[in-house]
Amino acid sequence: MVALAPETTLKKTGPLVLVEQKETNAYANALAQFDKAVAHLNLNRGIAESLRYPKRELTVNFPVKMDNGEINVFTGYRVHHSTVRGPTKGGIRYHQDVTLDEVRALAMWMTWKCSLMNLPYGGAKGGVVVNPHSLSLQELEKLTRRYATEISILMNPSGDVPAPDVGTTPQIMAWIMDTYSMHEGFSHPAVVTGKPIEIGGSHGRIEATGHGVMYAVREALRTAGIQPKGATVAVQGFGNVGSVAARAAHDMKCNVIAVTDVTGGIYNANGFDVPALMQHVREAGSVAGFPGCDSITNAEILALKCDVLIPAALENQITSLNADKVQCRILAEGANGPTTPEADDILNDQGVFIIPDILCNAGGVTVSYFEWVQDLQSFFWTDEEIARQLERIMVSAFNAVVGEARKRGIDHRTAAQVLAIDRVAQALMIRGIYP
Ligand code: GLU
């Protein structure tokens, strides 16, 4: 039995019991955003109600034999939020703090993200409670193959297609593809996306989320009347999303003045040579120690005066406790759920131009969709084609969100959710309620 923190209350929300830790429960936040958006839509009560809950949830507890011969038991999840618009899509997260409520929230956000981008998918998410950096390569492979086997009752190329998320990599996707294929007796590249190119991965998938973030930032700068050249950019999290976004910002002649990772961060008012910084991270393992910089903490970077702030780490970074200190003009949400609903209200009052997560980081799942289509057709596209199609879809979704916000006089996040939820609700009504 897990002990609950003192401020924790158990809240009944429809059929689900939610462990509510004030403001930082991602699923409670996803529901608050949903309810805010639904208030602008004239939906049938029962239709709206049915979209608040995951369609199905799987918890798996499984043993893994460690290198020292001991057997450790791990817990994992796979949640399908909605199958209304197609197979479920969404990443798998390996992190020591993964909870079921977090996976529920991430699955729900995937439904809205896929709908907003008009991808023919519903939303899902998976997670394993583990610090992947504490495992050897062999242990990581064993854990992955066992978890893949445990969730294979839900996962398949036409039903549920996982992908990388925080703590998982193309190699891990390769093991999942191989495990599933071994059980089936023949190769199924389309069961997972974000794979290495050698086994049916797509050009541009690794960079897709970071590039998508910068397409959205470019459009936001244009809308806000800020020149990209010399615009100051701060990036929280220098992983796959943050580092690629920083590199793309550098290529757009922006001035990347601060970046952080789990070990700390660096600041230079004159901007960094981002390719040199990426080389430093490859050699040193973190941004710390990059020459000619002051150090900056993860909390300080969020309060930095800059044109563009890109939180590209985890949820709940900007809350009611620090939102009033945020000084950026554009907040580009590379991470999922970095801003709580309480913080949203404060930032909107401050006039911050928010590019909401389900739009800003949707480049990843968009190129995942391209990868899946290529795998199903066994016909592969060029890098140029991927970039062109990604840019087209990102720009059109950006314009749709900003247009909807203006039309209704609402904030960008609510506008994005209104568009996304309405599309799913219409599809649900057209399909009809079975039986
Ligand atoms: N994990 C990514 C996300 O949160 C990508 C999901 C996918 O490609 O299916 O959007």
Residue 13 has pLDDT above 80, yes or no: no
Residue 416 has pLDDT above 90, yes or no: yes
211 and 160 within one domain: no
213 and 355 within one domain: yes
257 and 214 within one domain: yes
Q: Are 287 and 260 in contact (CB under 8 A)?
A: yes
Element (H, E) at 241: helix 240-251
Q: Are 157 and 191 in contact (CB under 8 A)?
A: yes
**Which of 14-23, 35-44, 260-269, 391-400 comes out lowest in average pLDDT?**
14-23
pLDDT at 322: 97
Residue 233 has pLDDT above 60, yes or no: yes
On average, the pLDDT of the chain sits at 95
Burial label, 259 (beta-carbon count in 10 A; 0-12, 13-18, 19+): buried
- 91 close to ligand 1 (CB < 6 Angstrom): yes
Q: Residue 93 Cα, ligand 1 centroid: separation in angstroms?
A: 10
233 and 177 within one domain: no
Burial label, 262 (beta-carbon count in 10 A; 0-12, 13-18, 19+): middle
Q: How confident is the model at residue 2 (pLDDT cuts 50, 70, 90)?
A: very low
CATH number of the domain that residue 79 is part of? 3.40.50.10860
Q: Residue 114 Cα, ligand 1 centroid: separation in angstroms?
A: 10
pLDDT at 12: 56
Could you tell me the sign of the dihedral formed by the alpha carbons of 35, 36, 37, 38, in that order? positive
348 and 211 within one domain: yes
Q: Are 235 and 310 in contact (CB under 8 A)?
A: yes
75 and 106 within one domain: yes
Count how many domains the chain has: 2
**Which of 1-5, 229-233, 356-360 comes out lowest in average pLDDT?**
1-5
pLDDT tens string 253-264:
999 999 999 999
Q: Residue 40 Cα, ligand 1 centroid: separation in angstroms?
A: 27
- 163 close to ligand 1 (CB < 6 Angstrom): yes
Q: Residue 351 Cα, ligand 1 centroid: separation in angstroms?
A: 29
Last residue of some domain: 303, 332, 360? 360
pLDDT at 126: 98
For residue 108, the SS3 value is helix
pLDDT tens string 96-136:
999 999 999 999 999 999 999 999 999 999 999 999 999 99
Could you tell me the sign of the dihedral formed by the alpha carbons of 179, 184, 185, 191, in that order? negative
Q: How confident is the model at residue 4 (pLDDT cuts 50, 70, 90)?
A: very low
232 and 151 within one domain: no
CA distances from 367 to 91, 218, 364 (A): 13, 19, 6
Could you tell me the sign of the dihedral formed by the alpha carbons of 262, 267, 273, 276, in that order? negative
Distance CA 289, CA 61 (A): 40
DSSP secondary structure letters along 180-225: HHHHHTS--GGG-SS--GGGT--TTHHHHHHHHHHHHHHHHHHHHT
Q: Residue 319 Cα, ligand 1 centroid: separation in angstroms?
A: 24
pLDDT at 22: 72
Residue 337 has pLDDT above 80, yes or no: yes
Residue 156 has pLDDT above 70, yes or no: yes
pLDDT at 18: 58
- And the tokens for 219? 């459009």
By percentage, how much of the chain surpasses pLDDT 70? 95
Q: Residue 361 Cα, ligand 1 centroid: separation in angstroms?
A: 8
146 and 229 within one domain: no
Last residue of some domain: 301, 328, 360? 360
Q: How confident is the model at residue 347 (pLDDT cuts 50, 70, 90)?
A: very high
Distance CA 368, CA 209 (A): 10
pLDDT at 11: 61
Choice from 172, 368, 394 to test ligand 1 binding pocket (greatest atom count within 8 A of CB) = 368
Residue 44 has pLDDT above 90, yes or no: yes
Phi, psi (rounded to 5 degrees) for 245: -65, -40
Residue 1 has pLDDT above 70, yes or no: no
159 and 104 within one domain: yes
Residue 9 has pLDDT above 70, yes or no: no
Residue 17 has pLDDT above 90, yes or no: no
pLDDT at 19: 54
CATH number of the domain that residue 331 is part of? 3.40.50.720
Choice from 79, 110, 115 to test ligand 1 binding pocket (greatest atom count within 8 A of CB) = 110
- Structural domain including 82 reads 55-187
**Which of 14-23, 87-96, 275-284, 302-311 comes out lowest in average pLDDT?**
14-23
H helix intervals, 257-360 = 274-284, 298-302, 341-350, 357-360
Mean pLDDT of 330-357: 98
172 and 215 within one domain: no
Q: Is the peptide bond before 435 cis (omega within 30 degrees of 0)?
A: yes
pLDDT at 5: 43
- 193 close to ligand 1 (CB < 6 Angstrom): yes
By percentage, how much of the chain surpasses pLDDT 90? 94
**Which residue, by CA, sits nearest to atom 7 of ligand 1?**
365
Q: How confident is the model at residue 3 (pLDDT cuts 50, 70, 90)?
A: very low
307 and 229 within one domain: yes
Mean pLDDT of 350-375: 98
Choice from 192, 357, 365 to test ligand 1 binding pocket (greatest atom count within 8 A of CB) = 365
Q: How many Cβ atoms are within 10 Å of 322's Cβ, its own excluded?
A: 14
pLDDT tens string 32-43:
999 999 999 999
Q: Which atom of ligand 1 is nearest to the CA of 89?
A: 9
Residue 415 placed within a domain: no
Q: How confident is the model at residue 6 (pLDDT cuts 50, 70, 90)?
A: very low
Residue 365 placed within a domain: no
Of 69, 84, 77, 82, the closest CA to residue 139 belongs to: 69
Q: Which residues pair with 78 in a beta bridge?
A: 58, 126
Residue 420 has pLDDT above 90, yes or no: yes
**Which residue, by CA, sits nearest to atom 10 of ligand 1?**
365
Phi, psi (rounded to 5 degrees) for 39: -60, -20
Q: Residue 123 Cα, ligand 1 centroid: separation in angstroms?
A: 10
Residue 200 placed within a domain: no
Residue 391 placed within a domain: no
Residue 104 placed within a domain: yes
Using only C-alpha atoms, the chain has a radius of gyration, in whole angstroms, of 21
DSSP secondary structure letters along 16-82: EEEEEETTT-HHHHHHHHHHHHHTTS---HHHHHHTTS-SEEEEEEEEEE-TTS-EEEEEEEEEE--
- 371 close to ligand 1 (CB < 6 Angstrom): no
- 368 close to ligand 1 (CB < 6 Angstrom): yes
Residue 171 placed within a domain: yes
- 364 close to ligand 1 (CB < 6 Angstrom): yes
Q: Which atom of ligand 1 is nearest to the CA of 106?
A: 4
Catalytically annotated residues: 125
Residue 29 placed within a domain: no
Residue 350 placed within a domain: yes
244 and 176 within one domain: no
Last residue of some domain: 360, 384, 400? 360
